[in-house]
A and B are shown apart, each in its own frame.
Chain A
């Protein structure tokens, strides 16, 4: 436990404040990378997911992408892209890697959200004369929002974790402290960095948990309650 005290001492130390990467800057970098990545990934994956969910075409491709992405070692992908694009453009290389890793979760969330909408609801919308575009925007998108937020939540966590690894290619972020601490044998720094990364991940996860409740459509609330009564269905809903 002594090491934890040392880690907290390091977090508040003069040494950290005067180092090449002060705490505020590392936090800022980490948030900046995470936010921009998720934004870009969402701009690509949400329309694509909606298209797949609405038309029902290309779902095999989407399933394949999410499956393959899980096997992709994120650390290797970052280093590979940074090295291929050249160290002068290491930020671009890292961004491409982050976005590639964030896309599958968001794609799955957007797609699964639309697909989970009761087909009778969609048929009803079509029957009252809505165009396909209106069905997507006014029916499928709002009803699928909770699952999309779930996908964004996974993507954010994935990206926060991946950005941590970017400390290795000198892009800063909170992972820098851990990665720099290893060869130096600075265990207070390693642990301090780890605590910060974990805190950031938990806070973001909590925020998205709140957001998921906020975006739950009114009409669905009762259905969710009913589902909660049956543990089996509730579980499937939560995971999807």
Chain B
């Protein structure tokens, strides 16, 4: 505890750094996954290809991806760009599947009603499909956010500073509270971001709250999803 109190400024600085390294992949992953997931959902032919490639991508252990990307992209191992790109790839891998799933969860009747009312495809996507896919999208985004925040720490092995620095530094100096502080702070950030996303979701999608009691088994989807993504450490 003394260590934590004496190093609050270090923990604070690393937390901010950690947050910065996590937010970019989460946002980029979400944005890039929308067209990819849409294509996978819309065209049966591409569905298998896209979902297989993203699935394989997610199979790659994080440390190996951090080690593989620099020579492929011609960047430095120590560059934080490496970590950001790797985590964006993971985020896209999870999110593309989520987007395809989310669009599939929209009632086809509603979609047809929108067509009948004269919605053009582009407008229909943003005003009908996208909002109605919202709850499933949000569930996917929350998975992405939490796992990205946990994965950022692995970058410390290459010397990219985040809360993971507390792990390597604490281990070398044999300070248990330092590592513990890193674990707790990482989980706290994940929890806060997850909570914020849930709150934003409630604000943007008030209808998803009312739906809950009607479903016979609430939360089945979000739980089931836990089986699939969650591969890489």
List chain A positions with a Cβ less than 8 A from chain B.
3-4, 59, 62-63, 66-77, 79-80, 82-84, 101, 104-105, 108-109, 111-112, 115, 147, 150-151, 154, 157-158, 160-162, 164-165, 168-169, 175, 178-179, 182, 187, 190-191, 193-195, 197-198, 201-202, 205, 231-232, 235-236, 238-240
Contacts and interface: CB of A to CB of B under 8 A. Distances in A.
Given A157-B231, A165-B154, A198-B61, A76 B164 contact: yes
Contact of B164 (A75, A160, A198): A75
28 contacts: A4-B71, A66-B226, A70-B143, A70-B230, A71-B194, A72-B187, A73-B151, A80-B176, A82-B171, A83-B174, A105-B230, A109-B227, A154-B227, A154-B228, A157-B59, A158-B233, A161-B63, A161-B232, A164-B61, A164-B63, A165-B63, A165-B154, A178-B64, A191-B67, A193-B67, A198-B65, A205-B59, A239-B227
Interface centre among A66, A73, A187 (most CB of B within 10 A): A73
A77 B183 contact: yes
Given A76-B167, A175-B63, A105 B176 contact: no
A235 B104 contact: yes
Nearest to A168: B157
A55 to B, nearest CB: 15
Nearest to A101: B233
Interface in B98-123: 100-101, 104-105
Contacts of B8: none
A66 B229 CA distance: 11
Nearest to A106: B227
Contacts of B60: 198, 201-202
B170 A79 contact: yes
B176 A84 contact: yes
Given A198-B64, A239-B101, A187 B157 contact: no
Interface in B206-233: 217, 219-233
B49 interface: no
B150 A73 contact: yes
A154 B188 CA distance: 25
B68 interface: yes
B224 A240 contact: yes
B146 A79 contact: no
A104 B150 contact: no
A108 B226 CA distance: 7
Interface of B: 41, 44, 47, 51, 56, 59-65, 67-68, 71, 77, 97, 100-101, 104-105, 143, 146-147, 149-151, 153-154, 156-159, 163-164, 166-168, 170-171, 174, 176, 179-180, 182-183, 186-187, 190-191, 194, 217, 219-233
A7 to B, nearest CB: 8
B186 A76 contact: yes
A190 B65 CA distance: 11
Contacts of A79: 167-168, 170-171, 179
B213 to A, nearest CB: 16
Nearest to A98: B233
A114 to B, nearest CB: 12
Contacts of A150: 227-228
Given A71-B150, A76-B153, A84-B176, A157 B227 contact: no
Given A83-B179, A154-B228, A165-B157, A70 B77 contact: no
A182 B222 CA distance: 38
Contacts of B157: 75, 165, 168, 178-179, 182
A182 B158 contact: yes
